[in-house]
């Protein structure tokens, strides 16, 4: 009798857990970079292109654990609204006022991962290389950008950190382009 009672209680508990969430699991959380900055002034760009390696051409929110530098994990119930390169390209188009110039900004995304140093502390790692080219494709300037601000303990806090990081990157790119872009070759 005791075993059958335990078995019934176990099955009832399993049934209640399965019914507590749709489909027996938590709904997927989908994140973007938040509000995008609207450009106050243009910097002479006609286009922005972001190239990404295959491992970042996915909407999976990736993270790394301490002591495992070569292994990437994926948050099970969280995703980006698009691949990181697409999110970044869209946000930077708005922030930098693309469309009225002759130069192109070519970005190569090298890393975009939430890197945990402990169980509850992480950094939003972003590494990319930027090339500014004129209308003919001639290289005007090149620079690497690397960031690693605090990103909290979960996917949500990581998404917030990347939203802030996009704004920082846009500000840094604006300053760099303004310094490097010859007005006679970039401005429309």
Kindly tell me if the per-residue pLDDT of 13 is higher than 90.
no
> Domains of the chain, with CATH numbers?
29-186 (3.40.50.10610)
Q: Which DSSP symbol is given to 126? A: E
Residue 80 and residue 113 in contact, taking contact as beta carbons nearer than 8 Å: no
Q: What is the H or E stretch that residue 141 is in?
A: strand 139-147
Give pLDDT, residue 43.
Answer: 80
Least confident range from 96-100, 131-135, 153-157, 166-170: namely: 96-100
- Cα distance between residue 29 and residue 56, in whole Å: 19
DSSP SS3 for 72 = coil
Model pLDDT for residues 134-154, shown as the tens digit of each residue? 989 999 999 999 999 999 999
Q: Point out which residues pair with 131 in neighbouring strands.
A: 106, 142
Q: Which of 101, 80, 166 is nearest to 128 (CA)?
A: 166
Question: What is the torsional sign of CA 104, 35, 149, 155?
Answer: negative
Kindly tell me if the per-residue pLDDT of 42 is higher than 80.
no
Give pLDDT, residue 25.
Answer: 64
Model pLDDT for residues 48-94, shown as the tens digit of each residue? 999 999 999 999 999 999 988 889 999 999 999 999 999 999 999 98
Q: Which DSSP symbol is given to 38? A: P
Please give the mean pLDDT across all residues of the chain.
85
Q: Which of 78, 76, 64 is nearest to 148 (CA)?
A: 64
Kindly tell me if the per-residue pLDDT of 101 is higher than 70.
yes
Model pLDDT for residues 25-34, shown as the tens digit of each residue? 668 999 999 8
Kindly tell me if the per-residue pLDDT of 99 is higher than 90.
no
């Amino acid at each position: 009798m005791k075993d059958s009672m335990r078995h019934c209680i176990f099955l009832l508990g399993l049934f209640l857990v399965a019914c507590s969430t749709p489909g027996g699991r938590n709904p997927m959380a989908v994140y973007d970079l938040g509000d995008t900055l609207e450009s106050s002034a243009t910097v002479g760009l006609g286009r922005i292109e972001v190239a990404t390696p295959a491992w970042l051409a996915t909407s999976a929110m990736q993270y790394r654990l301490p002591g495992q530098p070569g292994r990437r994990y994926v948050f099970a119930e969280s995703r980006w609204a698009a691949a990181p390169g697409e999110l970044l390209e869209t946000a930077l188009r708005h922030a930098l006022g693309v469309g009225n110039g002759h130069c192109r900004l070519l970005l190569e995304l090298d890393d975009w991962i939430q890197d945990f140093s402990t169980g509850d502390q992480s950094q939003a790692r972003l590494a990319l290389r930027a090339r500014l080219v004129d209308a003919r494709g001639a290289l005007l300037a090149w620079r690497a950008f690397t960031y690693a601000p605090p990103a909290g303990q979960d996917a949500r806090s990581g998404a917030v950190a990347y939203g802030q990081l996009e704004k920082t990157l846009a500000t840094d790119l604006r300053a760099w382009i303004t310094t490097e872009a010859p007005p006679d070759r970039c401005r429309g």
